[in-house]
């Protein structure tokens, strides 16, 4: 305005009628100011229709909502003179049910109230806007003697310029006793338009701030305790679920830190850019952590692959939105992120119910523990869009919901531990009874059937010679049998060769499809090798992991290499079928023809074959090499 001298944000600008600014005459600005004063006096009569706020003699705090009228300046161009004109034209409307929550809106909002202080002990009051994210706030106090006091604030101004170092914008007002004061508040913000205004005496505000900081401190103390507890579990167990839970806790704590105004107070008090961007960024990070944690906890990839792909799509969306929010205007990025939270919450509820119907019992615990948190988040988002009025429950719904979630999850974990302990005790008790019965039965059998014992011993020995997964001979039996074959080859002077076979990139198969699919691939490979080597009277065994070994009696180096090439091609001809997957298998094969004239040990022959195998792997895999 031309009648005001602008000073530092948060500091009052006082203009008195008839007094020049800076020792100069006001000229036309002076006359405009006088007309503004006259206009104010003219509209005082119309303003009487609006109930003014009379502060009782013993009152220490007052809410301005029931006594406040508002006007929506859609293009944000109106100054105080225009606002006074709109007030005289009765374009200011009472707040709906005294609630100043309008959701995401363009332009600026003007609020007007008449204050009459009847408390002679308190003439200095603190005006507090109980919402931390407004960008620009202008407060005008008009006194009957013509004085006009102006304050500016909001998170587009440095934090230390606030009247009180507090997370919510605040302004000192001087309210003389029995003197009506016209109050105008202009708010313009890209954030949600929430302007709950309250007056406090210094003592009442001290109590409010103390209680508020205590509650916030307790809440963040719980978050920190939960963070470090799960951090220890993650470091000990290396379970990805704990990592993503830690990620979600950290990002969610940042969301609340930002929404409560603490981020602007402690982290970026001089950066309006970060004050804006931290809101959509922290929301996106929290949703990424929440979706990823839900995927891991519910084992979504195995239990519902299609739902898992949708969850991955949501994660990708929040990643892109987080990156884009650094460039998009706040009034676009934040509403989109806030609305997407509702979609994210609904999807987590849907996948939890879907997995629960598959019989996965932990999903019930997950749904119970997160229900309150999801409800609190939904209430908070609805408040941001103006769908719900601003109350204690709606404003702090996220904190209440997340605290209940932590409590329920702790109770669920305690119940799970107790159930497991009782189940273990029952199993041990039953095992003792069964063991006693089994001992008695076996004793009777041993006394009456020694022949059956011998037969069982032979069967057990035969079983110990085979690999449990592939049903091939194991490594121990191979060494014993190969030693006999090598001795026969030396006596008859017939050649004998070794094939060392290793599946290519088998770890990638396990990591991609899981160990159960990997087991199917090993069984398929063993069957293929056994079928191909049957005409050669080969001794085939699983050497360990994804390695196989074969001894070819009566075959020299040329023939052994041909057989190895035949095996390699057999494996490449058709894929392994495991459930819905078709997995291509290839192998690297090392060939060694043993010198029967030399008196080398079995270990030496195996070492040479192994070196040939490593040569095949080093030269690109899926090939045959001979040393």
A 10 A CB-CB count for 339 gives 14
Categorize the per-residue pLDDT at 341 as very low, low, confident or very high, splitting at 50, 70 and 90.
confident
Mean of the per-residue pLDDT values of the chain: 79
What pLDDT is stored for residue 502 in this prediction?
94
Q: Give the tens place of pLDDT for each residue, 270-309.
A: 776 777 778 888 888 888 988 888 888 788 888 899 999 9
How much of the chain exceeds pLDDT 90, in percent? 28
Q: Is the pLDDT of residue 459 over 70?
A: no
A 10 A CB-CB count for 105 gives 18
How much of the chain exceeds pLDDT 70, in percent? 80
* Domains of the chain in sequence order: 13-200 (2.60.40.2380), 215-413 (no CATH), 462-626 (3.30.70.270)
**Between the CA of residue 412 and those of 91, 302, 625, what are the distances in Å?**
56, 24, 58
What pLDDT is stored for residue 396 in this prediction?
62
Bigger pLDDT: 587 vs 339: 587
| Most confidently predicted of 135-144, 347-356, 361-370 | 135-144
What pLDDT is stored for residue 316 in this prediction?
93
Categorize the per-residue pLDDT at 185 as very low, low, confident or very high, splitting at 50, 70 and 90.
very high
Q: Is the pLDDT of residue 15 over 60?
A: no
What pLDDT is stored for residue 219 in this prediction?
76
**pLDDT average, residue stretch 109-129:** 90
Q: Comparing 318-322, 365-369, 433-437, 536-540, which segment has the lowest mean pLDDT?
A: 365-369
Element (H, E) at 372: helix 362-384
What pLDDT is stored for residue 404 in this prediction?
67
Bigger pLDDT: 17 vs 147: 147
Alpha-carbon distance of 259 to 272, in angstroms, equals 14
Q: Is the pLDDT of residue 40 over 70?
A: no
Q: Is the pLDDT of residue 234 over 60?
A: yes
What pLDDT is stored for residue 41 in this prediction?
40
Q: Is the pLDDT of residue 336 over 70?
A: yes
In the block, residue with structure tokens 């990424």: 288
Q: Is the pLDDT of residue 38 over 90?
A: no
Q: Is the pLDDT of residue 500 over 90?
A: yes
**pLDDT average, residue stretch 440-452:** 71
Categorize the per-residue pLDDT at 462 as very low, low, confident or very high, splitting at 50, 70 and 90.
low
393: helix, coil or strand?
A: helix
Task: Of 64, 67, 89, 68, give the one whose Cα is nearest residue 78.
Answer: 89
What pLDDT is stored for residue 467 in this prediction?
87
In the block, residue with structure tokens 């003179």: 81
**Encoded tokens for 603:** 């270990």
Bigger pLDDT: 272 vs 82: 82
Q: Comparing 98-102, 476-480, 556-560, which segment has the lowest mean pLDDT?
A: 98-102
Q: Is the pLDDT of residue 435 over 90?
A: no
What pLDDT is stored for residue 388 in this prediction?
67
**pLDDT average, residue stretch 116-131:** 88
Q: Give the tens place of pLDDT for each residue, 385-402.
A: 556 665 655 556 666 666
**Encoded tokens for 576:** 């392994």
What pLDDT is stored for residue 65 in this prediction?
84
Alpha-carbon distance of 534 to 419, in angstroms, equals 53
**pLDDT average, residue stretch 408-436:** 66
β partners of residue 157: none
16: helix, coil or strand?
A: coil
Alpha-carbon distance of 348 to 186, in angstroms, equals 40
Q: Is the pLDDT of residue 548 over 90?
A: yes
CA 231 from centroid of its chain's CA atoms: 15
Q: Got the DSSP string for 66-87?
A: GG-EEEEETTS---HHHHHHHH
Cut 0.95: pTM above it: no
What pLDDT is stored for residue 49 in this prediction?
44
Q: Is the pLDDT of residue 380 over 50?
A: yes
Q: Is the pLDDT of residue 16 over 50?
A: no
Q: Is the pLDDT of residue 616 over 60?
A: yes
Q: Is the pLDDT of residue 526 over 70?
A: yes
Give the CA dihedral 467, 472, 478, 482, nearest 10 degrees. Answer: 170
CB 10 within 8 A of CB 157: yes
Q: Judging by beta carbons within 10 Å of its beta carbon (0-12, 13-18, 19+), is residue 481 exposed, middle or buried? A: middle
Bigger pLDDT: 404 vs 174: 174
**pLDDT average, residue stretch 340-359:** 85
Three-state secondary structure string covering 123-174: CEEEEEECCCCCCEEEEEEECCCCCEEEEEECCCCCHHHCCCCCCCCEEEEE
Q: Give the tens place of pLDDT for each residue, 563-584.
A: 999 999 999 998 999 988 999 9
**pLDDT average, residue stretch 418-428:** 68
Categorize the per-residue pLDDT at 56 as very low, low, confident or very high, splitting at 50, 70 and 90.
confident
Alpha-carbon distance of 246 to 252, in angstroms, equals 10
């Amino acid at each position: 305005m031309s009648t005001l001298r602008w000073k530092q944000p948060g500091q009052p600008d006082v203009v008195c009628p008839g007094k020049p600014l800076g020792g100069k005459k006001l000229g036309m600005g002076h006359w405009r100011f006088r007309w503004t004063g006259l206009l104010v006096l003219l509209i005082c009569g119309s303003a009487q229709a609006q109930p003014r706020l009379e502060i009782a003699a013993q009152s220490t705090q007052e809410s301005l909502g029931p006594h406040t009228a508002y006007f929506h300046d859609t293009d944000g161009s109106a100054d105080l003179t225009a606002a006074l004109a709109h007030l005289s034209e009765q374009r200011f409307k009472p707040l709906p049910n005294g609630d100043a929550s309008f959701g995401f809106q363009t332009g600026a909002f003007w609020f007007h109230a008449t204050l009459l202080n009847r408390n002679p002990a308190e003439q200095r009051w603190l005006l507090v806007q109980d919402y931390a994210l407004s960008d620009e706030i202008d407060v005008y106090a008009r006194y009957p003697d013509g004085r006009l006091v102006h304050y500016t604030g909001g998170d587009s101004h440095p934090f230390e310029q606030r009247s009180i170092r507090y997370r919510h914008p605040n302004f000192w007002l001087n309210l003389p006793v029995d003197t009506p004061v016209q109050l105008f508040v202009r708010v313009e913000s890209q954030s949600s338009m929430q302007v709950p205004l309250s007056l406090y005496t210094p003592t009442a505000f001290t109590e409010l701030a103390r209680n508020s900081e205590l509650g916030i401190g307790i809440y963040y103390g719980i978050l920190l305790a939960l963070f470090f507890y799960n951090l220890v579990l993650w470091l000990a167990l290396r379970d990805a679920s704990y990592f993503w839970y830690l990620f979600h806790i950290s990002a969610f704590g940042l969301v609340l830190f930002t929404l409560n105004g603490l981020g602007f107070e402690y982290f970026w008090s001089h950066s309006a850019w970060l004050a804006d961007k931290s809101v959509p960024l922290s929301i996106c990070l929290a949703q990424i952590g929440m979706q990823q944690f839900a995927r891991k906890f519910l084992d979504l990839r195995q239990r519902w692959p299609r739902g898992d792909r949708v969850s991955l799509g949501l994660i990708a969306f929040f990643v892109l939105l987080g990156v884009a929010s650094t460039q998009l205007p706040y009034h676009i990025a934040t509403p989109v992120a806030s609305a997407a939270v509702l979609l994210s919450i609904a999807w987590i509820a849907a996948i939890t119910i879907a997995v629960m119907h598959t019989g996965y019992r932990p999903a019930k615990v997950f749904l119970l523990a997160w229900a309150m948190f999801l409800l609190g988040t939904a209430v908070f988002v609805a408040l941001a869009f103006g769908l719900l009025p601003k109350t204690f429950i709606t404003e702090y719904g996220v904190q209440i919901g997340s605290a209940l979630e932590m409590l329920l999850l702790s109770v669920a974990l305690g119940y799970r531990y107790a159930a497991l302990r009782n189940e273990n005790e029952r199993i041990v008790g039953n095992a003792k009874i069964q063991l006693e019965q089994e001992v008695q039965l076996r004793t009777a059998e041993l006394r009456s059937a020694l022949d059956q014992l011998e037969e069982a011993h032979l069967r057990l020995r035969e079983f110990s010679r085979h690999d449990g997964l592939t049903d091939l001979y194991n490594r121990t039996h191979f060494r014993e049998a190969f030693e006999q074959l090598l001795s026969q080859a030396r006596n008859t002077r017939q050649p004998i060769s070794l094939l060392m076979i290793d599946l290519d990139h088998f770890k990638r198969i396990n990591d991609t499809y899981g160990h159960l699919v990997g087991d199917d691939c090993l069984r398929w490979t063993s069957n293929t090798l056994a079928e191909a080597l049957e005409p050669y009277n080969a001794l085939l065994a699983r050497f360990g992991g994804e390695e196989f070994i074969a001894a070819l009696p009566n075959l020299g180096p040329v023939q052994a290499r041909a057989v190895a090439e035949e095996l390699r091609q057999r494996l490449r001809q058709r894929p392994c079928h495991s459930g819905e997957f078709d997995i291509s298998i290839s192998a690297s094969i090392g060939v060694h023809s043993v010198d029967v004239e030399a008196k080398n040990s079995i270990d030496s022959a195996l070492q040479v074959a192994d070196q040939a195998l490593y040569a095949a792997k080093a030269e690109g895999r899926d090939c045959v090499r001979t040393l």
